[in-house]
């Protein structure tokens, strides 16, 4: 049987050229064309079942092609998609593959051999992996996460839940690997849901641009059943809270402090404040390395308009800087304060400031004396106090400066 192809692109000449390539490479192919600018989005119930492959241009109807790619690739039984890019790059190709592309090719200079090879591979995959319609209900049940049906992932278990979102352990149908799937509770068009959705979107945008061993990897982002979701790296060992309860040798605490500072340097270098640093957002990659997660409360330093309302407080009071707790302007030194509080907890196995209410904890951060360390840990006080000084001007001015100090502290600890 010959190949059946659907071409989705707004340029007539591109569609005709692709059709000629297909007719040259296959005997009696079936080629259909779709013009997004004139006809809009494909209907939600369109499954592409009549085709072996889809050629999708990267600017359909003046929209973002990756959004189309995510939507179509998650439809049950949809044929493999060959993504055609005007300006191919390794970064763009990686993003397209994560979004569901079977292959990526240049649409500016079409390589006949690569196109035909990609179509033949798609045709073979279509025949091998197409699912019978009778399994659609079963697939839908496996892809249900709370109120959201998120195709492309299979439910394994629920990991955590908060007022804003739920986190699930899921299996990626594309890679077979485990991911942590964070799903926003509120649809983005409902009141405060818009603000939460903006934070969710920024979380993806930030993480997608950063590659560092101490920053968690984000694999995918999308909206399903009006619920935004992020698929991120899963950490089977959990977060720092368990290790704090068990107790850590001082050298391990310093090593974790250094890795957190290295992650902060990358985030701040990208113009980002985390603003919600706490042990629950510091994940164990293995027994000796950590990675920061959850930029849902983060903020681009360069943005003129803040997402949060004036004076609105986000974060966790136990780890908030005095200025953040009182709703004042924050900068990199506020994150440095939070890391200092975590460092104290790593060393002492308790929080520096506790009280009966969140506001009392916030008050203590601003007015209580600096917490003391045990006598055998007194040599850590200088670095600790430069992190958690009440006055931001007395703290380390940058993550780079903090990192230099922690590296020296680590060298000294190794020589003890």
In the β-sheet with 103-106, what is the strand arrangement from edge to edge? 30-34, 4-8, 53-57, 81-85, 103-106
Selecting among 9, 52, 276, 335, the annotated active-site residue is 276
3-state secondary structure the chain: CCCEEEEECCCHHHHHHHHHHHHHHCCCCEEEEECHHHHCCCCCCCCCCCCCEEEEECCHHHCCHHHHHHHHHCCCCCCCEEEEECCCCHHHHHHHHHHCCCEEEECCCCCHHHHHHHHHHHHHHHHHHCCCHHHHHHHHHHCEECCEECCCEEEEEEEEECCCEEEEEEEECCCCCEEEEEEECCCCCCCCHHHHHHHHHHHHHHHHCCCCCCECCEEEEEEECCEEEEEEECCCCCEHHHHHHHCCCHHHHHHHHHHHHHHHHHHHHCCEECCCCCHHHEEEEECCEEEECCCCCCEECCCCCCCCCCCCCCCCHHHCCHHHHCCCCCCHHHHHHHHHHHHHHHHHCCCCCCCCCHHHHHHHHHHCCCCCCCHHHHHHHHHHHHHCCCCHHHCCCCHHHHHHHHHHHHHHHHHC
276 assigned to active site: yes
Q: Does residue 280 contact residue 250 with C-beta atoms inside 8 Å?
A: no
In the β-sheet with 153-161, what is the strand arrangement from edge to edge? 153-161, 165-172, 178-184, 227-233, 218-224
- Residues classed as catalytic: 276
């Amino acid at each position: 049987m010959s190949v059946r192809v659907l071409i989705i692109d707004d340029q007539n000449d591109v569609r005709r050229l692709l059709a000629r390539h297909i007719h040259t490479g296959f005997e009696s192919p079936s080629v259909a064309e779709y013009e997004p600018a004139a006809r809009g989005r494909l209907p939600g119930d369109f499954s592409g079942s009549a085709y072996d492959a889809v050629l999708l241009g990267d600017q359909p109807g003046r929209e973002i092609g990756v959004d189309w790619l995510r939507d179509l690739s998650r439809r049950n039984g949809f044929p493999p998609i060959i993504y055609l890019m005007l300006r191919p790059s390794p970064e763009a190709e990686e993003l397209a593959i994560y979004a569901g592309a079977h292959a990526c090719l240049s649409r500016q200079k079409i390589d006949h051999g690569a196109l035909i090879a990609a179509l033949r591979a798609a045709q073979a995959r279509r025949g091998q992996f197409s699912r019978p319609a009778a399994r659609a209900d079963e697939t839908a049940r496996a892809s249900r996460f709370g109120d959201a049906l998120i195709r492309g992932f299979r439910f394994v278990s629920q990991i955590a839940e908060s007022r804003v979102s739920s986190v699930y352990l899921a299996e990626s149908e594309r890679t077979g690997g485990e991911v942590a799937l964070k799903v926003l509770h509120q649809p983005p068009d409902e009141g405060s849901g818009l603000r939460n959705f903006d934070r969710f979107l920024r979380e993806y945008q930030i993480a997608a641009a950063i590659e560092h061993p101490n920053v968690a990897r984000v694999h995918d982002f999308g909206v399903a059943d009006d619920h935004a979701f992020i698929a991120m790296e899963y950490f089977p060992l959990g977060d720092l809270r368990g290790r704090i309860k068990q107790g850590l040798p001082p050298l391990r605490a310093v090593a974790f402090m250094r890795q957190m500072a290295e992650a902060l340097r990358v985030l701040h270098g990208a113009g980002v404040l985390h603003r919600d640093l706490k042990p629950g957002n510091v994940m164990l990659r293995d027994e000796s390395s950590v990675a920061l997660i959850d930029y849902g409360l983060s903020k681009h330093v360069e943005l003129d308009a803040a997402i949060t309302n004036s004076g609105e407080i986000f974060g966790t009071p136990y780890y908030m800087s005095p200025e953040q707790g009182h709703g004042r302007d924050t900068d990199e030194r506020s994150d440095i304060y939070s890391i200092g509080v975590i460092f104290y907890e790593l060393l002492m196995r308790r929080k520096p400031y506790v009280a009966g209410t969140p506001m009392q904890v916030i008050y203590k951060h601003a007015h209580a004396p600096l917490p003391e360390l045990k006598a055998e840990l007194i040599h850590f006080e200088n670095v600790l106090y430069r992190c958690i000084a009440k006055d931001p001007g007395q703290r380390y001015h940058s993550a780079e400066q903090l990192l230099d100090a922690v590296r020296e502290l680590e060298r000294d600890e190794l020589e003890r």
